[in-house]
Copies of this chain bind each other. A is one copy, B any other.
């Protein structure tokens, strides 16, 4: 039987995690280690400065899970290094409520858990439904999770590579296709709102949820805009190859530490 770790950044009691559990339980033993509370936009952070706890809790389907005070990445580490040491065949992070597209990838707690699995050389994917609706229907994403998990239990991703999956929030019969995509350039429009608190002090809200989409063909953003499931292969090597030579041309390496 396959051993499948699931985690997320919406917290152990989220509906998306439950839908994922039920979909993957048909493929093997599902182990749940997830944050004890929502950890959205936690980035790929690891907890080095405080002790981590793992508490046994019960999911709404009656199954046992482990709730931690750590980040999604920590959950993967705790499972890979202790709870299910050397036994994990697959790590799946999700099903997230809300998109993880374009530049979101470097912020995303959901994706960070799959990244951490890639560091440990375990096949992994992150999966999100691209809507923040409170009553989100996870059934399409759950079915695709099972389909993709079966493929990843048969095939090996290269070292340091993971998959980032986004599923449009459409009725199953409206799904327009499945596309392998590149990461697009979607990002928030960088709004900041300045307000005054009841004591007269200034404070700020970042964000707003208006995305700026650059709908280039073949990108995750475009696929979702067309009601398709988007699958982006992601790797951990951030080197901008095209700049290696130009930097040398800028005399960056001519620095002399003794000159003023």
Contact = CB atoms under 8 A, between A and B. Distances in A.
Interface of A: 40-49, 51-54, 70-71, 73-74, 77-78, 80-82, 103, 105-107, 112, 115, 119-120, 140, 143-144, 147-148, 151, 155, 157-158, 160-161, 163, 172-173, 175, 177-180, 182-183, 185, 187, 190-192, 194-195, 197, 201-207, 229, 231-244, 247-248, 250-255, 257-258
A61 to B, nearest CB: 19
A203 B51 contact: yes
B46 A107 contact: yes
Given A81-B192, A190-B119, A238 B239 contact: no
B155 A250 contact: yes
B244 A240 contact: no
A203 B182 CA distance: 40
Copies of this chain present: 2
B206 A143 contact: no
Given A46-B206, A119-B103, A238-B183, A77 B192 contact: yes
A257 B144 contact: yes
Contacts of A155: 250
B43 A112 contact: yes
Given A106-B106, A258-B172, A207 B248 contact: no
B42 A257 contact: no
* The 3 residue pairs across chains A and B that have the minimum distance between CB atoms: A43-B43, A233-B243, A43-B45
Given A172-B258, A205-B52, A158 B112 contact: no
A239 B82 contact: no
A78 B204 CA distance: 8
A99 to B, nearest CB: 14
Given A106-B115, A194-B82, A41 B47 contact: yes
A114 to B, nearest CB: 11
Contacts of A248: 180
Given A77-B192, A182-B237, A234-B240, 11 more contacts: A40-B48, A41-B46, A51-B204, A52-B206, A53-B204, A120-B190, A140-B257, A157-B243, A233-B239, A233-B243, A233-B244
A43 B44 contact: yes
Contacts of A161: 240, 243
Contacts of A48: 40-41, 206-207
